[in-house]
Structure 1
């Protein structure tokens, strides 16, 4: 039997960052099913910070996370961000989607087709009916971020147990007993940060699911287009989310921007989905895809309203949700981890009340 004040189930960026923040207030143990933290969604992220990405609730979380990403106090001295930019291009049929993205956004600049092609020379100019760019979109050093939070957790006395897949949970006399492998772990509080498996963890606790849905997102790594230095290219994407492409260590990562509902699993790219997405990408550029160097996929898990779920479950004492981050988990982790720590520890919450209410799991029961 191992005891602590808080058990965090899930060792992705959500669980590790929240555990590191909670460890400033209480003893914390993270249970991670895989052999290393960050194996699933965290390790397969597109790793970019886009302030205007997501609904109003997510944009508030993006704003709350930005200062930490730029100056990661407690986990490093250098910014976790580096310049990239995000450019959306629209055909005539996609202009409504471009307008919808721009609504309520800040820091966007409209581009002419010539300006778009100047930034990414392989684009088909004649297909571009509109374009915008967010210059302040930046790459995130996810590896350094996850490792930094892990060091902070350890420095504050917390621990992470890998290979600890949760198999059962029960609550008695104000204490949760969580069975993982051949060991029982006890704590009065459990943080459910299990990503695609979060509804399954709720089931082990005897609760009905919230309706969290894992969605597969695939990607392929291609050689850089011949004759082009792509290092300074922005991420560029279809305004209707038909595909996106991003320079990645001298290569070009292209995704079909798929959102296929799947069961929680160790995701891989489906050949047909990837082929169709690469075809859509090819229609927008002046070069052909002749070689794919590597493919992969990850799971982005959404709540029914596509906002994260953060707060105590009104149906079970001592069970806290930190799940449903969708495709925004890396860039919102600083804001969400501090919110989680404040709510659990009873500290002052910095986020506005409307945002906190929009995240609370109680919204599914009112």
Structure 2
């Protein structure tokens, strides 16, 4: 049976779109891997920081907050965010604190909150407006909504060919052929490849690798109430995670679409930047991994029908903002496809539209 909406990509973008669009018609979602949220969505830092990113991204994040408090009984838990800087990092520190809406605090107060911070700490800023996202609960909430409206979710269905005939898109996949009248491109790092298969002009997305290491709780500290730490200039970050600590070098190395893995040298350099600010060195890793954060040329999400082919819809370029923007981004896609006025202001809608690249 021909679906109304054929979604390619089973990360948070595709799953949230499936939920929203399932109220408008029949949905089929295609995911290449064995399970949903395998790539970038499965490797997220899972933080909701509504002031993080450029203005259109911030608008999406702020418009998503109510959903986070309601979905699945609520998917947020308190975390907070602390920016730390060493000597000579004043310009980067002040720019980050201003952009993220953080209040400067005394170094002694920062150490009282995070006893791990060492003598290299020169300045610190903090705010409570950052929360951990229960990403699994959020995905399951969207998935449940989609399936309640009879959406079809097909895994192990890598798309190898796309064509359109008589108003219907046909996707050739490892799980057989699927059809849909509207094609939604939510394929993460592969969005330009999907566009090429569909005969639509790629927009120039770039996947950027970001690595992470999971280390034991330093010196046996209880990390449960520590905020996420970020080095000035976003040169590294560290976030408590289930009794351990995730540390990232925050690199943005251009890559190609693939199942990413960490670069050991880059990871070591990032851990060294983290170690310079703390009292306990890293002696072992519990695990390490990497993900691809895929950005449009202007680092803003791309949401809406392609100007040259309105039945081809972009829901792409989530970068590092996929989870925290997903409620509002998927709602905008549904608003546009339903022909109803978007909840977001017209300036933000235009800034997110693929028409900006024409």
- Calculate the TM-score normalised by the size of structure 1: 0.95
> For each residue in 1:298-351, what CA deviation from the matched residue of structure 2 results, as whole angstroms up to 9, or x when unmatched?
110011110000011012230000000100001100010111111111122100
**Is 2:292 the partner of 1:293?**
no
**Is 2:116 the partner of 1:117?**
no
> Which residue of the partner structure matches residue 176 of structure 1?
169
Distance in 2 (CA, whole Å) between partners of 1:218 and 1:104 is 24
**Deviation of residue 104 (structure 1)?**
5.1
Matches within 5 A, 1:199-210: 199-210=192-203
Distance in 2 (CA, whole Å) between partners of 1:128 and 1:283 is 9
Contact 2:156 / 2:175 at 8 angstroms: preserved in 1?
A: no
Contact 2:189 / 2:207 at 8 angstroms: preserved in 1?
A: yes
**Is 2:221 the partner of 1:228?**
yes
Task: Single out whichever of 89-98 and 38-47 deviates more from structure 2.
Answer: 89-98
**Is 2:34 the partner of 1:31?**
no
Unaligned runs of 5+ residues in structure 2 are none
Matches within 5 A, 1:136-285: 136-181=129-174, 183-285=176-278
Distance in 2 (CA, whole Å) between partners of 1:334 and 1:93 is 39
Task: Single out whichever of 153-162 and 222-231 deviates more from structure 2.
Answer: 222-231
Tell me, what secondary structure is at the counterpart of 2:218? Answer: coil
> Which residue of the partner structure matches residue 22 of structure 1?
21
Distance in 1 (CA, whole Å) between partners of 2:211 and 2:75 is 24
> Which residue of the partner structure matches residue 314 of structure 2?
321
Q: Which runs of structure 1 show a deviation greater than 6 angstroms over 4 or more consecutive aligned residues?
A: none
Tell me, what secondary structure is at the counterpart of 1:284? Answer: coil
> Which residue of the partner structure matches residue 41 of structure 2?
42
Tell me, what secondary structure is at the counterpart of 2:289? Answer: strand
**Deviation of residue 182 (structure 1)?**
5.4
Contact 1:307 / 1:325 at 8 angstroms: preserved in 2?
A: yes
Task: Single out whichever of 87-96 and 207-216 deviates more from structure 2.
Answer: 87-96
RMSD: 1.2
**Deviation of residue 102 (structure 1)?**
3.3
Q: What is the aligned length? A: 358
Tell me, what secondary structure is at the counterpart of 1:326? Answer: coil
> Which residue of the partner structure matches residue 102 of structure 1?
97
> For each residue in 1:233-274, what CA deviation from the matched residue of structure 2 results, as whole angstroms up to 9, or x when unmatched?
000010111111011000011111111110010111111111
Tell me, what secondary structure is at the counterpart of 1:157? Answer: coil
**Deviation of residue 105 (structure 1)?**
4.5
Unaligned runs of 5+ residues in structure 1 are none
Distance in 1 (CA, whole Å) between partners of 2:160 and 2:213 is 34
Contact 1:95 / 1:129 at 8 angstroms: preserved in 2?
A: no
**Is 2:296 the partner of 1:303?**
yes
- Calculate the TM-score normalised by the size of structure 2: 0.97
Distance in 1 (CA, whole Å) between partners of 2:293 and 2:246 is 18
Tell me, what secondary structure is at the counterpart of 2:275? Answer: helix
Distance in 2 (CA, whole Å) between partners of 1:270 and 1:45 is 17
**Is 2:23 the partner of 1:10?**
no
Distance in 2 (CA, whole Å) between partners of 1:105 and 1:258 is 19
**Deviation of residue 51 (structure 1)?**
1.3
Tell me, what secondary structure is at the counterpart of 1:5? Answer: strand
Contact 2:26 / 2:151 at 8 angstroms: preserved in 1?
A: yes
> Which residue of the partner structure matches residue 56 of structure 2?
57
